[in-house]
Structure 1
Amino acid sequence: MRKQLSRRAVPVAVGAVVVAVLATNAPANAERIAAIAPAAETVVAPAAETVAERGIPVRAGIGSVRADGLAAELGPQRTAGVYFDRKTERMVVTVTDAAAERAVTAAGGVAKRVKHSVEDLNAVRKALDERIDTRGTTWGTAVDDNVINVTADSTVSEVDFAEMAAVLAPFGDAARLTRLAGQLDTSGPVNGGKYMRNGSGGTCSVGFSVQKKSDPTQKYVITAGHCTVLASGEAKWYNGANVYFGYDAGGRYPGTDYGLIRHNNPVVDKPGNVYWHGSGQVTDITHSRDPGFGEYVCQSGWVLGTYCGTVYELDVTAHYREGNVYGLFRTDHCVSDGDSGGPIFHGAAALGIHSGRNTSGCIAYHQRVNPALAWYGVEVY
């Protein structure tokens, strides 16, 4: 969420509430982070991606790459995708028929029979994309529950809610409609997760340090598109020491949610890492990839710090006030205004950029980082 300080003052009482929330959540969050936090100052990824690096400590059976391969071999009519089962610590390949189940089992994998295929679930999302354009709504694929999870926040009228229910009715249990309290919202050295502000007072979090593939001497910060697009015409950005470090070099929002800031101050350090609030340690980011369903990932932002959580939905459509954003993923991170643009990562892998949230709780939506890197022709370093 981009935090626009110039548009609304933040009273001391609100700041006190934020501190209280941080103090309340700190012990539990420390336990969650302990399993994944870096033991040393820098963590370097292995030469090749491993199951553990993806946050999936499978004790037996096939790994995530092989599971994805099996699902691809089955095709969109015979599987609904793969997910990590945290209870058994194994990858699961969903299947829609007995022959597919036997094929997965014979390959050493764990199969789960489901009713709806990728093709079925995509039909639900297509119907929603074509027929519903209501602000405050989201939908995405919950692979483990074999359902398109549809949400409507408190701003959605009863009439619109009923219309959504009618659109979903023909799909039966392939779709699940839920009313959420709160509102869908994006308002909100240069390390990933650190504070940054523009000249008009809008604050966001640094995403990932990147460089041009064609010219590695050109350094940038990749962050949320709404941070740069909604910057009130002010292109300059400053770090936490109030030092100018660069200017807007691009932004796409809505539709997608990623933006680019060009480094333009040689005296400001540009490390390719992510900052862990609380410990002061950093994790070196060496490569990027898409997140996996059920994966345990972490987020860093200057307001609420570093939180870790689980990927609960993929291919999410979010109807923000300013317009629709597609292809997001949802986690259970706690975030606040100003955390927008912060990095979502696991180990040395860059996964996403924080986009928005539902204000009623720890429900967060993130832009996948790979489409952003491809669009701007840049890479993490």
Structure 2
Amino acid sequence: MSPFRRTTALLAAAGLAAAGLLASQASAAPVNPATLSASAITSTLSKDATIPGTAWQTDPNGRIIVSYDDTVTGAKLSKLTGVTKQFGDRVTLEKMSGKLTKYIAGGDAIYGGQYRCSLGFNVRSGSTYYFLTAGHCGNIASSWYSNSSKTTLLGTTSGSSFPGNDYAIVKYSTSYTNHPGTVDLYNGTSQDITSAGNASVGQAVKRSGSTTGVHSGTVQAVNATVNYAEGTVTGLIRTNVCAEGGDSGGALFAGSVALGLTSGGSGNCSSGGTTYFQPVTEALSRYGVSVY
């Protein structure tokens, strides 16, 4: 909604010969993975393993979880395995089902260009009203409508950031005044949103999107990195909440607290999956707006 850092060099046990000056060669000692910081490991992953279809995050114990999808095979998988194995048990490699992708499709909800996305949260700055959605949605259209025939204008894209981040802001048209500060629960009711916060590992959350409605799960990691085919996005929330195409931009929340915007993931809501979210607080700060 959809992309980056300094590099740490890893020393191999290479001979450092001073031919003609020293009687023998000197060798650098191998680096012990246990002595490396999590940030040093992820910096190396960013340098050497930024492969579309991969993602990684650090768990509360400082262990790095590297995930890869069905598209990472052959030489790409060999490269990923080669990079990760040098860190021993500091890094765990796991397979994700399906393809890691941005969630965007044609259907119902907010329409821009040839695509459908989901509205995240209504926000405002003073008496000016906006809504947030995914950055990869904001990149594809300047005007957004509430219907597929594009006869009811919602507003125009005011800002968008993807890759790197995955958020966008759309300014409501003055002719469209129905924008309550709630999230649709797809059961005839809605959840009032009164504040925004940061997700925490283990937190129970819900996601609302125009394709699959509302689904629940838990936060598995924060500050995750995802390598989409279109670029890398960092600082994401990883969850076990499912999502599908068209859910992009939709709301991640816990009770009345806004947490994130649906970015992408793998799997589906029939068999389950992994979904990543852009933290909403970053978008609120960037655009100087607030939920209500």
What's 2:51 paired with?
Answer: 134
Opposite residue 154 of structure 2, the aligned amino acid is F
User: 1:187/1:351 Cα in 2 relative to 1: closer, same or farther (>3 Å)?
Assistant: closer
- 1:124–1:168 Cα contact (<8 Å) kept: no
- 1:228–1:250 Cα contact (<8 Å) kept: yes
What's 2:66 paired with?
Answer: 150
- 1:185–1:359 Cα contact (<8 Å) kept: no
CA–CA separation in structure 2 for the residues paired with 1:153 and 1:267: 41
> Which residue of 207, 210, 215 maps to 1:299?
207
Q: Verify: 1:373 aligned to 2:287, yes or no.
A: no
- 1:354–1:365 Cα contact (<8 Å) kept: yes
Deviations 1:33-84 (A, max 9, x none): xxxxxxxxxxxxxxxxxxxxxxxxxxxxxxxxxxxxxxxxxxxxxxxxxxxx
Q: Verify: 1:203 aligned to 2:107, yes or no.
A: no
> Which residue of 230, 243, 247 maps to 1:339?
247
CA–CA separation in structure 2 for the residues paired with 1:334 and 1:276: 15
Report percent identity of matched pairs.
34
CA–CA separation in structure 1 for the residues paired with 2:280 and 2:54: 23
Structure in which a larger fraction of residues adopt strand = 2
CA–CA separation in structure 2 for the residues paired with 1:159 and 1:255: 26
User: 1:350/1:151 Cα in 2 relative to 1: closer, same or farther (>3 Å)?
Assistant: same
User: 1:116/1:374 Cα in 2 relative to 1: closer, same or farther (>3 Å)?
Assistant: farther
What's 1:282 paired with?
Answer: 190
C-alpha root-mean-square deviation of aligned residues, in Å? 2.1
Structure in which a larger fraction of residues adopt helix = 1
> Which residue of 152, 175, 178 maps to 1:269?
178
The alpha carbon displacement at 1:267 in A equals 4.0
CA–CA separation in structure 2 for the residues paired with 1:371 and 1:365: 15
Opposite residue 291 of structure 1, the aligned amino acid is A
Opposite residue 182 of structure 1, the aligned amino acid is G
Opposite residue 263 of structure 1, the aligned amino acid is Y
CA–CA separation in structure 2 for the residues paired with 1:331 and 1:183: 16
> Which residue of 120, 133, 140 maps to 1:230?
140
What's 1:315 paired with?
Answer: 223
The alpha carbon displacement at 1:240 in A equals 4.4
Opposite residue 176 of structure 1, the aligned amino acid is T
What's 1:180 paired with?
Answer: 96
Opposite residue 345 of structure 1, the aligned amino acid is F
The alpha carbon displacement at 1:116 in A equals 7.1
> Which residue of 231, 238, 256 maps to 2:165?
256
Q: Which runs of 5+ in 2 are unaligned?
A: 3-32
The alpha carbon displacement at 1:180 in A equals 2.5
Deviations 1:316-339 (A, max 9, x none): 111101100001111111211110
TM-score (norm 1): 0.63
Q: Residue 284 of structure 2: SS of its match in structure 1?
A: helix
Deviations 1:126-173 (A, max 9, x none): 111122221111001222x65211011111132222222222223221
User: 1:348/1:187 Cα in 2 relative to 1: closer, same or farther (>3 Å)?
Assistant: closer
Q: Which runs of 5+ in 1 are unaligned?
A: 3-114, 189-193
Deviations 1:195-218 (A, max 9, x none): 2111x2311011001112xxx111
CA–CA separation in structure 2 for the residues paired with 1:267 and 1:205: 17
